[in-house]
Amino acid sequence: MPHSLFSSLRRRALGALLASLAGALLIAAAAQAQDNSTLRIGYQKFNSLNILKGSGALEKALAPQGVRVSWHEFAAGPQLLEALSTGAIDVGHAADAPSVFAQAAGKPVVYLAAEQPYPRGIGLVVRQQDPLNDVQDLKGKRVATGRGWNAQYLLAVALQQAGLSYQDITPAYVNNAADAIAALQSGSVQAATLWDPFLAAAERQPGLKNLRDGTGLTNNRTFYLSTARFADSHKALLRIFFSELAKASQWANDKPGDVAALLAPQLGINADVLEVASQRRNYNAVPVTPEIVAEQQKLADTFQGLGLIPRKLNVAEAVYPASVLP
């Protein structure tokens, strides 16, 4: 069953990636035809926006304003932020690392709000049969990860804490979590960086174990992003959006079992796995405070030190100056 689960996840991830790329092109082609009557939202599976979509509450709240909602699914944050920067969508969410890489690439995206810390939602997963008991044991090993992933940042700071550097491992770059899991199971890598719900699924997989999560290393935040151009013209609309998001998020915090039941059919992942992932998460959105900016600055500086970001970033420049939270 677990093997078939991850095979299914891999097929779904590949399909979602192709759909994301094709969808972004189609949306971009039609972007000029869009007007203020439609709010275009980009989302990834297993997140507060996925939950809001399932509730239908935003559509009801915006109907009196004559505004429709269109939802656009993306396989990961980098693809979503690319669509946002080209005007293909109006608002969306991404993890901390993809958000920094978008700024580094000069994409005109801005932070609107952040989620609460979610350090247990990322991890370094290894096989139990391998003699790997702590992060120091990863020296000289191949690790499956993705460029600009939040879990790649965990890998970097975990190695630092263990007295190692990123150069002490050999990164094997993959495009999605399913490929990382497949590489680990095949033995072509000795560790994989994962995030929920894939991490929660891996933790239940016989023969796998979570060597290190983000506790004490990274807050692993999700951010809500738009462009300054859209936010400047749609503050009232964004306040309604965040008001409904807050209701959905509080419901999700109070009832992780119901969240799992809602999302399991969409994700093709067992509800008990999703419940574990949801129980360790706080979905509530909060303002982007100076402390959160400092977290992001540390992340940006770390990636710059690894040579993955070519120049010094000032994260504060990408924070939208006005509040759109209710």
Dump pLDDT digits (tens) for 43-100: 987 889 999 998 999 999 999 999 999 999 987 888 899 999 999 999 999 999 999 9
Please state, for a pLDDT cut of 70, what percent of the chain lies above it: 89
What's the rounded Cα separation, in Å, for the pair 101 and 87? Answer: 18
pLDDT at residue 10 above 80? Answer: no
N- to C-terminal Cα separation, the chain: 44
Question: Among the residues of the chain, which ranges form H helices?
Answer: 2-30, 48-55, 57-62, 77-85, 96-104, 150-161, 177-186, 198-203, 228-233, 235-254, 256-267, 271-279, 290-305
The more confidently predicted of residues 269 and 243 is 243
What's the rounded Cα separation, in Å, for the pair 264 and 272? Answer: 9
pLDDT at residue 279 above 50? Answer: yes
Find out whether 76 and 176 touch, Cβ atoms under 8 Å: yes
pLDDT at residue 30 above 50? Answer: no
| Whole-prediction pTM | 0.84
The domains of the chain, with CATH numbers, are 2-117+221-318 (3.40.190.10), 119-213 (3.40.190.10)
| Beta bridge mates, 42 | 72, 92
